[in-house]
Amino acid sequence: MQIIIESIALFALFCLGSYGILSIENQILYGIYFSFEALYLYTGYFAFALLFVGLWLPNPYGRLLGLLAFVAMSWHFLIFVYLDFGLNIKLILQKILPENSLILGGISFLTSIFVFCASLINLFGRFKMYFWVYLIILLALLHILTQQKILSTLHYSLLIATLCALSLKIYKHIKMPKAN
């Protein structure tokens, strides 16, 4: 019961936060209250942030943030597929195949579907899914960076922080003593 209450609270926080950021930024920068481009950006950024933060939290909370990150990734993907192309597969493939950033995002999303399904049905039992999550984070980061025409200091900081954090996590797993 506690996990249900916490998931509802986190989802409400996610919705309120995204609405607040979207409305404040659009009012200040563009003088508008809603834009689909802002929806693209923030669903993707929220998915990345939830996945990254969830990787550092203990299991029940990290898993919950991972599931919420999958929801945000799904929204990000559905906004792209439905609003831009009206679910027309031919147009989607024509757009995705020539662009490396969209291929990276697609591979990241497909991998996240695999991890999501495996997590829900407990497919691997004791198999740790975090290595797949590392791959998803890395691909998502590359997706974000290759979308930018000009990389700012914020993007370089994000790259360095993510690579350092992932390196530290991998190092801890390699150096962790194995239990008999």
The model's pLDDT over 20-69, given as tens digits with 9 standing for 90+, comes to 555 555 555 555 555 667 777 778 888 888 888 887 777 777 888 888 88
Sole residue written with tokens 């919420």? 68
* Cα 39 to Cα 75: distance, rounded to the nearest angstrom: 9
* Cα 48 to Cα 69: distance, rounded to the nearest angstrom: 7
User: Which residue type does 12 have?
Assistant: A
Q: Is the pTM of this model over 0.75?
A: no
Q: Tokens at residue 151, please? A: 């990389």
